[in-house]
Amino acid sequence: MSRKTPRDWLLSHNSNFDSQSLYRPRKQTKTIAVASGKGGVGKTSIAIKLAKTLAERGEQVLLIDCDYNLANTAVKLGFPVVDRFWELLQNSISFEEAIHTDGNFHLLSACNGNFDLFDDSTGIERLIIDVIMVHGKNYDSIILDCPAGLTKEVCALANYCDHRFVVVTPDKSSITDSYSLVKVLSHKFGVRDHHLIFNKVSSERQFDRLTKTFLETAERYLDCRLEVLGAIPYFKDNVDRFDRELFKVAGSEIHQSFNKVLNKFSEKDIGTGITGSDSIGRHAQTFGQEHEVQSI
């Protein structure tokens, strides 16, 4: 991978570089950061499903695992966990050698416990943006599976992307942490457009409460535009079973719910977000039978 011009430019700036001013891939390339305030909310599974679904719809898609030393995307997809990401950063292999390919779907996997990468002091977000700058022209969509939590690296990646999908679950810690992520992006980075996906939702009633709580709080305290894309129903079995249901091409309730989420994003005039409680009634989903409400 050639990293001379963009990487040198990026490394000449401090960690608070203005990513809004950076060169982006070709105009038709969408960049989407999938983020969450806390771990365990299904963010990586949703990022994979988003990338795979767009690829199935005919787009050339690159999914980048940005949790650079915990290669969960490869594990979930059943790919071998290798150190190609580190080798790519060292210019030991080409970009084409570093990625896993499955038709239109390409994955740049992270490493897993690589000591050299752990000790590297270079901001990983800068190197990921460099990859996008150099290779983005070859893709219709680039999906970033961001690490969970609120860090400068996550904020820089979310700031750089055209769109942000924040994954929230119906527990107080997830809601609080997701709100904090949106708050910092809004006040510190000037990023005021976000898309929310509620995962593990038990019923329409719970979904309405979640939407009302999040949107009304954001409307009161934050100057930002939030678009609720929809909800994915609560699945009682373990995470691996949830992934199998989510990754199905067709036939499961979870798959159908995700398609509604993606269709809403695709069909919207992106850039005109919905703010406040007036939008709450327009986000009702069909969950089939009522499940036990979890926390909210």
Sign of CA dihedral 283, 284, 287, 292: positive
Q: Give the model's pLDDT for residue 6.
A: 39
Average pLDDT across each block of 10 residues of the chain; the chain has 296 residues. List them in order.
Answer: 40 40 58 92 90 91 83 79 78 88 90 63 76 91 92 90 93 90 90 90 88 84 86 70 61 72 69 34 37 38
- The number of helix segments (H) and strand segments (E) in the chain equals 12, 8
> From edge to edge, which strands make up the β-sheet containing 100-102?
100-102, 105-108, 61-65, 141-145, 30-35, 163-168, 193-201, 225-233
pLDDT at 92: 84
Quick check: 166 and 183 in contact, CB under 8 A?
no
User: In the prediction, which pLDDT does 252 show?
Assistant: 66
Say what the pLDDT of residue 219 is: 79
Residue 182 main-chain phi, psi, to 5 deg: -60, -40
SS3 for 127? Answer: helix
Residue 250 has a pLDDT of: 59
Give the model's pLDDT for residue 140: 94
Least Cα distance to 150 among 110, 121, 190, 177 occurs for 177
Amino acid at 289: Q
Distance between CA 33 and CA 43 in Å, rounded? 10
Where exactly are the structural domains of the chain?
29-280
Q: What is the DSSP string of 86-125?
A: HHHHTTSS-HHHHSEEETTEEEE---BS-HHHHH--S-HH
Fold classification of 29-280 is: Rossmann fold (3.40.50)
Confidence at residue 3, expressed as pLDDT on a 0 to 100 scale: 40
Q: ∠ CA 216-211-249 to the nearest 5 degrees?
A: 150
Question: 0.85 cut: is pTM over it?
Answer: no
Residue 184 · residue 153 · CB < 8 Å: no
Nearest of 47, 42, 79 to residue 63 by alpha carbon: 47
Instruction: Tell me which residue of 219, 228, 285 sits closest to 253, measured CA to CA.
Output: 285
